Amino acid sequence: MQSLNFDELAEALYDELATILPPLANNPDVFGFAIFVPEDAGAACFNYTYGNESKMTARAGTMDALDQRYSPIEWIPTLPAFKNSNRVLESLVEQFKQISQDLSGNKLYKVHGEFITGCARATLLAMKRHKEEGTFGTIWYRVLAMTDDEDPILVEAFKTLNDGRARKEAAILYK
């Protein structure tokens, strides 16, 4: 796994975020931004979504409101894909297939987990750099997301990328 260059993936994501974020970061209606990271090397893809204040319809203080605001899957029905970053990801997937082709059972499961974590860490690094540079503007909730997983990297990303209101209100979802 050491032969896979996740730094190249982090750079591609960073560069692509530099073009995606500016119009969102200057829109006061946008409060949240999430990148869906791969969960399976066989169907690896990066998508993003963002949350709008104007789409919050649930009554404040309810579990529905908490879910609507802090669950990125609720924000928009069609998730835009990262074009350039997904090309780099495809290359990494091909390399991963070569590395893991002779593995099975627990060894394959472990190596696959390391691959997914490497993808998520590269994403977190790119987002963290943008947070430190202030590129998120008025977007105050920033996370990594997976559709069906409670991977520890999601909690790490939540804690790394958020503070203030987001940390206070959404902490219950990231334990």
Q: What is the pLDDT of residues 71-105, one digit of tens each?
A: 999 998 777 889 999 999 999 999 999 999 998 99
Return the percentage of the chain with pLDDT > 70, whole number.
98
Whether 146 contacts 34, CB under 8 Å: no
For the chain, how many structural domains are there in total?
A: 1
DSSP-assigned beta bridge partners for residue 30: 52
* 34 pLDDT more than 80: yes
pLDDT on residue 60: 87
Global pTM reads 0.94
In a domain, 97, yes or no: yes
pLDDT on residue 1: 60
* 148 pLDDT more than 90: no
In a domain, 86, yes or no: yes
- pLDDT-based confidence at 149, cuts 50/70/90? low
Task: Give residue for tokens 């200057």.
Answer: 26
Taking alpha carbons only, the member of 122, 52, 127, 62 closest to residue 86 is 122
- pLDDT-based confidence at 135, cuts 50/70/90? very high
Residue 30 C-beta-side C-alpha neighbours within 13 Å: 18
* Separation between Cα atoms, residue 126 and residue 146, nearest integer Å: 17
Alpha carbon distances (Å) from 118 to 18, 99, 134, 151: 21, 15, 24, 12
Supply 32's token pair: 């949240």
* 3 pLDDT more than 90: no
In a domain, 111, yes or no: yes
Cα 51 to its chain centre, rounded Å, is 14
Domain limits at 80?
6-173
In a domain, 1, yes or no: no
Q: At CA 85, angle to CA 34 and CA 155, rounded to 5?
A: 35
